Structure 1
Amino acid sequence: MEVRTRLNRERVLLAAVSLADGEGLDALSMRRLAQHLGVVPMALYKHVANKEQLLDGMVEVLVAEIDPPLVGTDWRTAVRARVLAARRVLRRHPWARPVLETRVVVTPAVLGYLDQTIAMFRAGGFSDDLTHHVMHALGSRAWGFTQELFDTPTPPPEDPAVLVALAHAFPNVAAVAAASSHDSSAVDGGCDDQAEFEFALDLMLDGFARMHAQGWTSRPG
């Protein structure tokens, strides 16, 4: 006789993450999740009231996968490691970015992650005033993602004549695009997203360190 695993909230959330990983966020619905678990849809509502609560719970799973903060190190190393740890998790779960971008309720899991990030700056001697502005500057980068300026929804034209015409019309964009590095890790043969992310993150951390050393404050002198 087959023994069915008892349904609980954790099992529901892990199944939702698995389904979104495998089939994409658009395929995730309460009905589809119930089919995936082999239960009737009503059984899910004992654990999540609706899809929004389901998505909030999936974020909890996401946060739990992020490596814990480093201890016994300087603030810059700790923040950098934490952000890149979050980025690794988001890259494992392509659905995570749009879910994080659309959350309207700040859940304890999200607050906990942000609280730990803020704690790293404060432990490094940052004032609450500077830390406030630092967190605004980091924005979604604190979660390991950011909107890329040169994201292209469609591939560039293949006709050499069209490419030449575009280069003449937009010479500065063409020059910068030609100078970008490319390697096998880049998405669709474009820029190395990871290298670009770390480059910008390091610039920001350097700037934060300089402002901290200067005793920066938002209050008029």
Structure 2
Amino acid sequence: MGEPAAASGRPRLSRDRVLRAAVSLADELGIGELSMRRLAQELEVVPMALYKHVANKDELLDGMVDVIVREIDPPADEPGWRDVVRRRILSARSVLQRHQWARQVLETRTRMTPGVLAYMNSFIGIFLDRGFSDDLTHHVMHAMGSRMWGFTQELFNEPGDPADGEMNGADGAAQQAMLQELAKRYPNLVRIARASAHDEGGVVGQGCDDQFEFEFALDLLLNGIEKLHAEGWTSARSDRAPTMTSAV
């Protein structure tokens, strides 16, 4: 059955309806344009009506996070851990790509919501239920960091030059002079940044492909975790850290 209708013929206001409307509005306008007043206009109610369902803007954002976290695919019911983890992380990444505002909100939340806690609990369970020790799982979660949510901080901006922002508005000659100066000061940085200009028709194409880079780093991490698990690694070793040969 659908939601009971209000006197106006519109569905009754509920917390779920408020949160889903807020998610849709943020998808459409961006998180910076989302306000309680603008949301009330979208729902055709007075702003005070919203406060019966969310106490303030922070609670609204927390609730929006829980809405999108529920869109992440549940872990597959299969014995191996690696493919299960990989698919779940890539599902989380797809969710964040659908909701471009979500990364910013996730990074600024100071309270773990029930949805966030449930996702983390389930994610940890993928490892524990497949034979990982508590110790290794603890360190794996540290290593995963924000990657479990489908994002990492990008190192290079498109199209691959480290001073793109500084060169905005500069003419061709000025840009070339700035690049030459940068190359003198920071030769290694410029060399690697320019390496993102891949050959036409290559696997990645022109510039850095965020999805390719994300999956490349994820697979490196999973390879290391797989090796440590197979070796029975523990932080109780005297050096308190995996050796480079063990982690690669």
Q: Shared fold (TM-score greater than 0.5)?
A: yes
> Is 1:209 equivalent to 2:226 in the alignment?
yes
Amino acid of the structure 1 residue aligned with 2:47: P
Where in structure 2 are the equivalents of 1:152-171 lying within 5 Å?
154-155=164-165, 157=167, 158=172, 159-171=175-187
Three-state SS of the structure 2 residue aligned to 1:65 is coil
Q: Distance in 1 between matches of 2:163 and 2:146?
A: 21
Q: Which runs of 5+ in 2 are unaligned?
A: 1-6, 239-248
Q: Distance in 1 between matches of 2:178 and 2:120?
A: 47
More helix by share: 1
Q: Distance in 2 between matches of 1:196 and 1:164?
A: 27
Q: Are the equivalent residues in 1 in contact too, given 2:21–2:43 (CA < 8 A)?
A: yes
1:9 corresponds, among 15, 21, 30, to 15
Report the counterpart of residue 81 of structure 1 in structure 2: 87
Where in structure 2 are the equivalents of 1:125-164 lying within 5 Å?
125-151=131-157, 154-155=164-165, 157=167, 158=172, 159-164=175-180
Amino acid of the structure 2 residue aligned with 1:9: R
Task: State the Cα RMSD in Å.
Answer: 2.1
Where in structure 2 are the equivalents of 1:21-100 lying within 5 Å?
21-100=27-106
Amino acid of the structure 2 residue aligned with 1:70: A
Q: Are the equivalent residues in 2 in contact too, given 1:29–1:51 (CA < 8 A)?
A: yes
Q: Distance in 2 between matches of 1:117 and 1:181?
A: 36
> Is 1:174 equivalent to 2:190 in the alignment?
yes
Report the counterpart of residue 191 of structure 1 in structure 2: 208
Report the counterpart of residue 241 of structure 2 in structure 1: none
1:151-196 superposed Cα distances (whole Å, 9 cap, x missing partner): 4694463422322232232221122122225589xxxx64111111
**Which of the two has higher C-alpha Rg?**
2
Q: Distance in 2 between matches of 1:163 and 1:59?
A: 41
Identical columns (%) = 61
